[in-house]
Amino acid sequence: MPILLRVDRALQLLAEPMDTCERCGGYAKHQVLVSVHKIRLFFVPINLVGSTIYLDRCTRCSRVNMLPKAQAESVLAHSLT
């Protein structure tokens, strides 16, 4: 009997604040992204602990860093005000 297992990765843009990049030194737009892995077993979604990752991407040099959840939420809160 085949097991139907599907893994999807969704990448969503949360905010685009302007900031100075520690790699290229330029003042450029940064993208705060959230990456969520979703697993479906026989079409039933399964939520995994720790499957959500927050990323910060510099649009000037394409440097990508992982962000702690609290820092990503802080950036999002400041971009909405």
Q: Which residues bind Zn ion (CB under 5 A)?
A: 21, 23-24, 58, 60-61, 63
Q: Smallest distance, Å, CB 5 to Zn ion? A: 37
Q: 37 is written with which tokens? A: 């892995």
**Is 28 exposed, middle or buried, given 0-12, 13-18 or 19+ CB atoms closer than 10 A?**
middle
Which residue sits closest to Zn ion, CB atoms considered?
21
**In this complex, which beta carbon is closest to Zn ion, that of residue 37 or of residue 60?**
60
Q: 45 is written with which tokens? A: 């979604």
Q: 48 is written with which tokens? A: 């995994």
**In this complex, which beta carbon is closest to Zn ion, that of residue 31 or of residue 52?**
31
